[in-house]
Amino acid sequence: MSSGQQSVTALKKFTNFTNWFDELLLNAKIADNRYPVKGFIVYLENGAYIIEKIKRLLEEKLEKTGHKLMYFPLVATEELFSKEAEHIKGFSREVFKIEQREEKGAERILIVRPTSETIIYPMFKLWIRSHADLPLKIHQSVNVYRYETKATRPLYRVREIPWNEAHTAHESPSDAERQVKEAIEIYREVLEELGISFLLLKRPDFDKFAGAVYSIAFDAWNPDGRINQVGTVHNLGKNFSKAYDITFEKKDGSRGLVYQLCYGFGYSRVLAAIIAQHGDDRGLVLPPIVAPTQIVLIPILFKGQEKEVLEYSREIYAELKDIWRTTLDDREDITPGEKFYYWEMMGAPIRVEIGPREVLEGIVTLTRRDTLERLQCNRSEIVKEISQLMEKISQNLREKSKRMLYQMILDCRELEEAAKAVDNKNIVRAAWCGSMDCAQKIKEHVGGEIRGERYDVGEHPDRPCIACGQQAKTIIYIARAY
Ligand SMILES: [Zn+2]
């Protein structure tokens, strides 16, 4: 039984991403897209499990940095929702509404949260009295609802969005700026632990969050060249505290408006990025930290030696199961080859094979899912060996994903060249003068959108604007997006 068996699947991650992804969602028990309401999906056992793991990773970091876990209601009144003018303009067309019939026949419309600023900030107004109440940092992991008018895609563009949203209030702009950095660091750490690579971009003004002063986005790469925005951090300045009248007494006794931030981390999109960035034509390749099964043990039974092999397998299973999420696949109705195939599709990071030879020599055979490399080690070394292998797998996934991101970025100086690059599933790097006319021209000619400029790295334009040839202000990234 060799790990070099031919995969019979015709799935092709880079040439036919959509089919590859959709088939894998169902086959690997991530999600079922056949629920009969458009834009709503069922999360199956592995999808729900991985999301729960991502959620715990994130929430632990949020709580360590002083964010308090709370839960706010699902609904707001239309009046509450309409207080911040830009915000209502940005979201009004995609809200779900509930018609509420009062006793005397009067009707009222409730808004189902598309995001929770309008639900949380009236409470901030009640809670914040003085500088001693600041900073206030809260978070919740909930579903938000957006009536997407664009074509929906499972995990990427859904109408019921599982995410974490955090909201903070501060006494000064510099405190708010510090919070932007802390939020970015939290999201960056989680994504790095998952091996997901991304561009950290400051969105152009025309694409910032409705009601924000500026928005920073985590744009993960995708095999089809489209950007998958997995997280955003918004500095709201005083826009919402003005609208909701959230004031505090300063140290000098005067009153002022608080400075606010909100930031969101999309669980289903992060799950999509794990699948899309690490998976291959055999199926999922899961980072050990979130894999529902981290180790699968497969006994290879030969007539007459079943007993010894099974006993040895069970001993090793007993040794591993308290340290890692381990499955002993001792199903009798399928062959070891079929099990290999199945667990490769499921993305289990390490496979342990045990046959008569392993029993005889007191060894085990290990196979890494990420590289399909096989190695053998003594039974007594198995825990040490697997610990090191898990570390290597995580690191390899992270590095491989980062290399792919930088391979996808293509420098372009002409619109035509940029259009070709976007067609070819690249992310374009170009210079822009900052004018709306040119942004429009780029969108029309290139077929991708300006996603923004690097936030973590200062990049200075060394060439004229790609659209008008005049002096450029920034280096921008252009891509199609989900
Ligand atoms: Zn220009």
The total domain count for the chain is 3
* 399 found inside a domain: no
Q: One-letter amino acid identity for 98?
A: I
Ligand 1: centre distance to CA 202 (Å): 18
Q: Looking at the structure, do residues 310 and 444 belong to the same domain, yes or no?
A: no
Residue 7 lies in a domain: no
Q: Which amino acid is at 46?
A: N
Tell me, in angstroms, the distance from the centre of ligand 1 to residue 441's CA.
9
96 and 185 share a domain? Answer: yes
Is there a single domain that holds both residue 472 and residue 359? no
Distance (angstroms) between ligand 1 centre and the Cα of 422 equals 19
- pLDDT score recorded for residue 11: 59
Q: Using the mean position of ligand 1's atoms as its centre, give its distance from the Cα of residue 470 in Å.
A: 6
- 3 within some domain: no
Of 344, 360, 391, at which residue does a domain stop? Answer: 391
State pTM to two decimals.
Answer: 0.95
How far apart (Å, rounded) are the C-alpha atoms in residues 122 and 339?
A: 55
77 Cβ neighbours under 8 A, 6+ residues apart: 108, 109, 110, 111
Q: Does residue 302 share a domain with residue 258?
A: no
Please report the pLDDT score of residue 149 as a whole number. Answer: 80
Claim to verify: residue 56 and residue 193 sit in the same structural domain: yes
What is the model's pLDDT at position 69?
A: 98
CA distance 23 to 155: 13
Residues with Cβ within 8 Å of 358's Cβ and at least 6 positions away in sequence, in order, are: 309, 312, 364, 365
Q: 407 C-alpha vs ligand 1 centroid, how far in Å?
A: 26
Domain boundary among 366, 391, 416: 391
Instruction: Please indicate, yes or no, whether residues 106 and 231 belong to a single structural domain of this protein.
Output: yes
pLDDT recorded at residue 81: 86
Do residues 59 and 141 lie in contact, with contact meaning Cβ atoms separated by under 8 Å? yes
What CATH number should be reported for the domain holding residue 144?
3.30.930.10
444 CA → ligand 1 middle, Å: 14
Instruction: Tell me the CA–centroid distance for residue 209 and ligand 1, in Å.
Output: 24
Instruction: Give the distance (Å) from ligand 1 centre to CA of residue 412.
Output: 14
Residue 71: phi and psi, rounded to 5, are: -135, 125
Q: Is residue 71 part of a domain?
A: yes
All residues at 6 or more sequence positions from 155 whose CB lies less than 8 Å from its CB, including other chains: 25, 30, 31, 41, 268, 269, 271, 272, 275
Q: What distance in angstroms lies between residue 462's CA and the mean position of ligand 1's atoms?
A: 14
Please check whether residues 114 and 168 belong to one and the same domain: yes
* Domain end residue (candidates: 251, 278, 305): 278
11 occurs within a structural domain? no
Distance 481 CA to ligand 1 centre (A): 22
Q: Residues 300, 270: one domain?
A: no
Q: What is the pLDDT of residue 194?
A: 98
**Burial class of residue 314 in the structure, from the number of CB atoms within 10 Å of its CB (0-12 exposed, 13-18 middle, 19+ buried):** middle
Distance 433 CA to ligand 1 centre (A): 4
What integer pLDDT is reported at residue 463 of this predicted model? 96
Domain hosting 462: range is: 408-479
> Residues 139, 252: one domain?
yes
Give DSSP secondary structure letters for 114-173: SSSHHHHHHHHHHH--BGGG-SEEEEEEEEEE----SPPBTTTB-SEEEEEEEEEEESSH
What CATH number is associated with residue 352? 3.40.50.800
- Looking up tokens 């340290």, which residue turns up? 323
In a domain, 4, yes or no: no
With respect to residue 310, please indicate whether it lies within any of the assigned structural domains.
yes
Instruction: Please list the pLDDT of the chain residue by residue as tens digits (482 residues).
Output: 344 444 445 558 999 999 999 999 999 999 999 999 999 999 999 999 999 999 999 999 999 999 999 999 999 998 888 888 787 888 888 999 998 877 776 778 899 999 999 999 999 999 999 999 999 999 999 999 999 888 899 999 999 999 999 999 999 999 999 999 999 999 999 999 999 999 999 999 999 998 999 999 999 999 999 999 999 999 999 999 999 999 999 999 999 999 999 999 999 999 999 999 999 999 999 999 999 999 999 999 988 889 999 999 999 999 999 999 999 999 999 999 999 999 999 999 999 999 999 999 999 999 999 999 999 999 999 999 999 999 999 999 999 999 999 999 999 999 999 999 999 999 999 999 999 999 999 999 999 999 999 999 999 999 999 999 999 999 999 999 99
Can you give the pLDDT at residue 100? 81
Residue 84, pLDDT score: 80
Residue 101 and residue 73 share a domain: yes
Cα 178 → chain centroid: 23
In a domain, 348, yes or no: yes
CA atoms within 13 A on the CB side of 236: 28
**Ligand 1 centre distance from Cα of residue 430 (Å):** 11
User: Are 137 and 98 in a shared domain?
Assistant: yes
Question: Does 421 lie in the same domain as 384?
Answer: no
Q: How many CB atoms lie within 10 A of CB 374?
A: 14
